[in-house]
Amino acid sequence: MKLKNIIIRITAIVAVVFTFLSCNDDFDSVGSEVIGDVNFEDKQYSAVPIAYSKKFERVRTSGLAIDQQGRTAHSNLLGVYNDPIYGQSVYSILSQIQPSKLNPTFGTNAVLDSVVFSLPYFSTATGTTSVQVDNVTETATTYRLDSIYGNQPIKLSLYKSNYFLRDFDPESNERQVYYSDDVETNFGAEVEQTLLYTNNSLVPSAKEIITTTETVTNGETTTKRERLTPRLRVELPDDIKTLFSTLFLDKEGSVELSNSNNFRNYFRGIYIKAEPVNNNGNLIYLNTNDAQITLHYSFDETSNNVTTRKDDKLDLNFANTFINSIKTTLDPTIAEELKEENQDTVNGEDNLYLKGGDGSYAVIDLFGGNVTNENGEEENELSFLKRQDWLINDASLKFYIDQDKVTGGDTEPERIFIFNMETGTVLLDYILDGSINRDAPLVSGINHLGRISRDSGKNGEFYKIRITQYILNILKGEIENTKLGLSVSQNVNIITSAIGDTPTTKNEIIPSSSIVSHEGTVLYGNGVNVPESKRLKLDIFYTSSKEN
């Protein structure tokens, strides 16, 4: 009986494999049929796409939500980044606030004891040790900070904003869109209504934070110690404590605290402003959902004619609308080259400029020119390829890095991302890539979106992107040959799209993963001045019958 079951299973597996291979042959064939008893040979065809760059004036930075470990996360950058190629970008954050409970009751004789601002960093625990504190054994944890770029101080200022961030656009009744330049250009001084806190030399620390809370019960004081992951955690000064007491404790039972809409109009948001120190700084990649301002207060509680003092808190969470303000001072030479009038959109450019944030991306037209056909006549390249009786085995783009313009090493983006410019969607090759792994972004999708290839000196040489299925579908006439976009990507698992404005076009599509990226690179294009060995090519590997 066991032998019979084994034979049945083997037979089933073989049948599935043969079925798959049969389907795969039919799937990859561009020609009509493959006839037996014909000799075949493998060949390569190289097309030269037309490629050039487009620069954004601004990009949408509201609603950049991603799914991170099963929950919604808002990805925001905070700080100063000096890109070795493109120049300096300064990132600040404007956010609405949502109280942990609406229509709060603070109790009898409530007193606001402290106001604490907390901004956790992404970090990874690296080890633990046992420590003695007042004859009590505690477990201390060491951490490594993740997603921190640079180690020079920045100036950080925390403001209560008075700018009303509406949820919906009154003209379209759709979600209101906010852009990277809105804070700087449109909102003005209202976002800096009340200064709550300033740190003139902030450098993120990997040390855990230890908090101590004292509680008095029946005349006895109990001390509670808590160890928190690395973060910026500060108690705001007394004058700010007085302000928040007026804004919250004195407003108990008011309409302003009764529901979310009233509250957002009453307390309009928090602005976290970053500024360079000595034209330098550091950049922090944050999940802003974890940021909060906490009001710690105490009140009287009477039981059995005995009145005791109790402690409680109200969390003001960063929520709903987040805006990343980005102010980039672009290198003058690159700024001039990226002007639309200086980009050859007909013949293509020598260099392709890819920069995250409010930066730039490349446009790729795979089959934009003509070729000389077998009759010695000029013919549209795509028409020529569609007539060939080829079995396509592989198709890929190789983007070589211009090492004369790029500072190699850690500042080079590890991944780049290709997408349909008309729809913003990924290519079918992305969907079919079995290496997509949401839990491991660095090595996810490497069959389609290859990681940067580096030389012995750890300098980037090229990126290779496989688009076999996309090319097959074009040559079969199943999809149109649309222009493709190429951008940097902080995480290739993020496949949502946003929009941005170029000098001549509004609402250009750009992947969200490019906006939340800060790095940049320069790739070789198809221009005549590019060395032949580095020129952008679409390499198509195929099988065809041997010519007699």
Question: Model confidence over 498-509: pLDDT tens digits?
Answer: 999 999 999 999
B/e letters for 23-48, b = 16+ CB within 10 Å, e = fewer, are: eeeeebbbbeeeeeeeeeeeeebebb
pLDDT digits (tens, 9 = 90+) for 266-292: 999 999 999 999 999 999 998 788 899
On whether residue 32 sits in a domain, the answer given is no
pLDDT in tens, 212-233: 877 766 667 777 888 999 999 9
| 500: its two tokens | 């941005």
Supply φ then ψ for residue 247, to 5 degrees. Answer: -70, -25
Q: Does 489 fall in a domain?
A: yes
End-to-end Cα distance, the chain? 56
Helix, strand, coil % over all residues of the chain, rounded to 5: 20, 45, 35
Both 275 and 389 in one domain: the answer is no
Instruction: Name the pLDDT band for 369 (thresholds 50, 70, 90).
Output: confident
Where residue 71 falls among pLDDT bands split at 50, 70, 90?
very low
Q: What are phi and psi of 93, to 5 degrees?
A: -130, 130
Residue 138 belongs to a domain: yes
pTM of the model as a whole: 0.89
Per-residue pLDDT tens over the stretch 503-531: 999 999 999 999 999 999 999 999 999 99
Cα 442 off chain centre by: 13
The more confident residue out of 403 and 220 is 403
Q: Which of 328, 360, 393 is the last residue in one of the domains?
A: 328
* Summary mean pLDDT of the chain: 89
How many domains does the chain contain in total?
2
> In one letter, which amino acid is 517?
S
Residue 21, in any domain of the structure: no
**Residues across the chain:** 548
Cα separation of 128 and 143, whole Å?
9
Q: 3-state class of 270 per DSSP?
A: strand
Q: Rounded mean pLDDT of 152-181?
A: 94
Largest CA distance in the chain: 108
In a domain, 75, yes or no: no
For residue 526, give the 3-state DSSP assignment.
coil
Q: Are residues 335 and 312 part of one domain?
A: no
Classify residue 26: in a domain, yes or no: no
Q: Are residues 52 and 128 in the same domain?
A: no
- Residue-number span of the structural domain to which 52 is assigned: 43-56+331-545
Amino acid identity of 534?
Answer: K
Residues 369 and 338 grouped into a single domain:
yes
Let me know if residue 247 belongs to a domain.
Answer: yes
Where residue 340 falls among pLDDT bands split at 50, 70, 90? Answer: very high
Task: Mark whether 402 and 422 lie in a shared domain.
Answer: yes
At residue 17 the predicted structure's pLDDT band, cuts being 50, 70 and 90, is very low
**Domain end among 313, 328, 343:** 328
| Secondary structure (DSSP) of 485-507 | EEEE-S-TT---EEEEE-SS-SS
Residues 402 and 345 in one domain: yes
The C-alpha atoms of residue 205 and residue 279 are separated, in whole angstroms, by 21
20 band by pLDDT with thresholds 50, 70 and 90: very low
Identify whether 312 is part of a domain: yes
What is the band of 5 on the pLDDT scale with cuts at 50, 70, 90?
very low
Please tell me whether residues 183 and 227 are part of one structural domain: yes
Q: What is the pLDDT of residue 66?
A: 55
453 & 534 share domain: yes
- Average pLDDT for 322-329: 96
User: What confidence score (pLDDT) does residue 219 get?
Assistant: 65
pLDDT at 438 over 70: yes
Judgement on whether residues 172 and 291 belong to the same structural domain of the protein:
yes
Residue located via tokens 């396509």: 392
In this predicted structure, the answer to whether residue 31 has a pLDDT above a threshold of 90 is no
Which CA distances in Å does 109 have to 303, 334, 410? 15, 62, 56
Question: What is the distance between the alpha carbons of residues 524 and 351, in angstroms, rounded to a whole number?
Answer: 5
223 and 351 fall within a common domain: no
Say whether pLDDT at 79 is over 80. Answer: yes
Domain boundary pick from 269, 302, 328: 328
- Same domain? For 294 and 381 the reply is no
Residues 453 and 368 occupy one common structural domain: yes
Strands 123-133 and 108-120: unpaired
